Structure 1
Amino acid sequence: MRHTLPIAPQFYVTAPQPCPYLEGRMERKLFTALQGEGAQRLNDSLSKQGFRRSQNVLYRPACAECSACLSARVNVADFSMSRSQRRTWNRNAGLERRATSPWATEEQYNLFRRYLEHRHADGGMADMDTFEFAAMIEETPIRTRVVEYTDTETGDLVAVCLTDVLDDGVSMVYSFYDPSRPRASLGTYLILDHIEIARENGLPHVYLGYWVPGSPKMGYKAAFTGLEIYVNGAWERMRSPEEYSAQLHPLSNDPISEQVANISLPDGKPLRAR
């Protein structure tokens, strides 16, 4: 018997689980499969609407009583380095960038393990083995690159970013780096260099994932000028971080059915929620 894929993507909602960003809150995600010939166009379209990719799934927060997670991107044309960021840029002048196809290596995995042990030992990825790591890197139906950064003096791999190429920018899906170099501020440097990558390729945006007011883990994103956040169905220039509340908003979140109905697809076809 032959089977065909649904005409339009079907959307689902995860069961509630503890929020990784704000203590005492529960999160749910709205998600859909990323597959078939239209995967690239779907990823391009939904990325502009606050979705993120994880392997062959696109998702965004759909919490019942909280709207703290805000998708963030840098408008490249409006970005300028601060003095601190300029120092970080200069401090890492000895790194060489190399973009490759999405293939996992043992060297990447070893760096990934060191990063998790020092930065996220109690996180959801702490138990990820080599096969799961390879799946994170290699299972992608769209244009994806692994951007590696090597110390030109020692030859050591010091940072890696899994990067999607969109029609309007680059999306930093996941990055990790050598935790023994705290003064290098490698997390900041990776964003700075991806802004440069976007500039080199004439792309207007660098997608950073979610900024969460009130979460120390996400505070660094607010330091980038030209930052835009996705609020109430539209991108807006970020105001002062203090103006965005991380309070519970039980009446401000639309029901899941309405959230799905308001999603725009490349072909304009109807959606179905499950």
Structure 2
Amino acid sequence: MTTRHNPPEIFLSMPHPCSYLPGRTATSLFLDPRQPLNSQQYAGFMRLGFRRSGDLIYRPHCRECRACIPVRIPVDRFHPDRGQRRVWRRNQDLSMVSHPPIYNQEHFDLYQRYQAMRHPGGGMDDPDPQKYINFLGSRSIRTVFYEMRHLDKLLGVAVTDVLPDGLSAVYTFFDPAEKRRSLGSYAVLWQIELARQQRFPWLYLGYWIKDCRKMAYKGNYHPLEILQDGLWIEAQSAHKGTGA
């Protein structure tokens, strides 16, 4: 007998201040967190433009704004530009070590330094370790914490979900003193290469917001596919962002 699973209920959030564009009000669709999804189910919702924060799976759904554009990189067709090739070469002295998605004090200390320097007052610099791991981990989706190390020194952590049809770059945090390395860019380039090696077609990057500095950098990767009117299409003229 085949077991049927009812699709999760979808709710609309109350209006709240936008986290990315000052002065705007946002609303989001989110799935019932009492019905956790497995990786296969979650991949299906990702193809519809959803994303996760911990176990909360959501998608921006604002009445008068479409600034948050779901994007993914077709890894077999990706071609790094000159700056990205420099970033790749500059970081070949790093080792990448995989870790399970469990609390690690060294990771958390780096995360706090990163938030204090890069996003002060942004609401993610909470000193509570449980909130940190609840934000990055998931109960039912395979997640890996990839350490970036130079010799014995931890320089960064790239949090990656492994899905049936690709990888999802969940979050990256790194040593803010290592600005010259552009570790945020390197983490994306490394995950593209990892997806290629594992024969996954896509690396999902979440939402590209060209008017938000910390999200606009996603337009620097070419080719880039965007979700538009329910279809994934190649962005013909992704405006370059300025973040790393």
TM-score, normalised relative to structure 2: 0.91
- Aligned pairs, how many? 236
Provide the C-alpha distance between the structure 2 equivalents of 1:107 and 1:35, rounded to a whole number of angstroms: 31
Unpaired segments ≥5 residues, structure 1:
243-274
Between Structure 1 and Structure 2, whose CA radius of gyration is higher?
1
Structure 1 residue 56: Cα displacement: 1.5
Deviation string 1:181-204 (CA, Å, 9 cap, x unpaired) is 111000000000000110110001
Distance change in 2, residues 1:6/1:195 (3 Å):
closer
2:88 is matched by which residue type in structure 1?
A: W
Match of 1:85 in 2: 84
Structure 2 residue 218 is matched with structure 1 residue 205: no
Give the corresponding residue for 1:140: 139
TM-aligned CA distance change 1:240 to 1:87, over 3 Å? same
Question: Aligned pair 1:24/2:23, yes or no?
Answer: yes
C-alpha separation in 2, matches of 1:7 and 1:96: 43
The CA deviation at 1:20 is 1.5
Q: Is the 8 A contact 1:103 1:137 kept in 2?
A: no
Contact 2:55 2:137 in 1 (8 A): no
Q: Match for residue 52 of structure 1?
A: 51
Aligned residue in 2 for 1:182: 179
- The residue type paired with residue 156 of structure 2 is A
Q: Distance in 1 between matches of 2:48 and 2:156?
A: 29
Structure-1 separation of matches of 2:31 and 2:14: 14
Correspondence for 1:71 = 70
Distance 1:46 1:134 in 2: 23
Question: TM-score, normalising length from structure 1?
Answer: 0.82
Aligned with 1:221: secondary structure? helix
Per-residue CA deviation, residues 147-172 of structure 1 (Å, 9 max, x unaligned), is 111112xx111111111111111001
CA contact (8 A) 2:16 2:25 kept: yes
Identity fraction in percent: 38
Aligned residues of 2:191 and 2:203 also touching (Cα < 8 A): yes
Whose relative contact order is higher, 1 or 2, with alpha carbons under 8 Å and at least 6 apart? 1
Inter-CA distance 16–239: structure 2 relative to 1 (3 Å threshold): same
1:220-264 C-alpha deviation (Å, 9 max, x unpaired)? 11111121111111111112135xxxxxxxxxxxxxxxxxxxxxx
Q: Distance in 2 between matches of 1:34 and 1:197?
A: 30
Q: Does 1:159 align with 2:150?
A: no
The answer (yes or no) to whether the contact 1:172–1:206 under 8 Å persists in 2 is: yes
Q: What is the deviation of 1:89?
A: 0.6
Please state whether the residue corresponding to 1:241 is helix, strand or coil: coil
Post-superposition CA distance 1:26-48 (Å, at most 9, x none): 11110013566852222010011
Deviating more after overlay: 206-215 vs 127-136: 127-136
Aligned twin of 1:106: 105
- Give the superposition deviation at 1:128: 4.5
Task: Output the CA distance in 1 between the equivalents of 2:13 and 2:142.
Answer: 26
The one-letter amino acid paired with 2:166 is G
TM-aligned CA deviation for residue 134 of structure 1 = 2.3
Q: Name which of structure 1's ranges 32-41 and 103-112 shifts more when overlaid on structure 2.
A: 32-41
**Structure 1's 204 and 34: CA in aligned 2 closer, same or farther, altered over 3 A?**
farther
| Structure 1 residues 190 and 94: CA distance shift in structure 2, 3 A | same
Whether the aligned pair in 2 keeps the contact of 1:78 and 1:226 (CA below 8 Å) is: yes
Tell me which residue corresponds to 1:130: 129
Tell me the distance in 2 between the aligned counterparts of 1:37 and 1:186: 32
Q: Is 142-151 or 196-205 further displaced after alignment?
A: 142-151
Q: Which amino acid aligns with 2:77?
A: D
Counterpart check, 1:241 vs 2:244: no
* In 1: Cα distance, 2:37 partner to 2:129 partner: 30
- Local SS of the residue matching 1:72: strand
Residues in 1 aligned to 2:89 and 2:174: alpha-carbon distance in whole angstroms = 17
Task: Pick closer, same or farther for the CA change 1:234–1:181 going to 2, 3 Å.
Answer: same
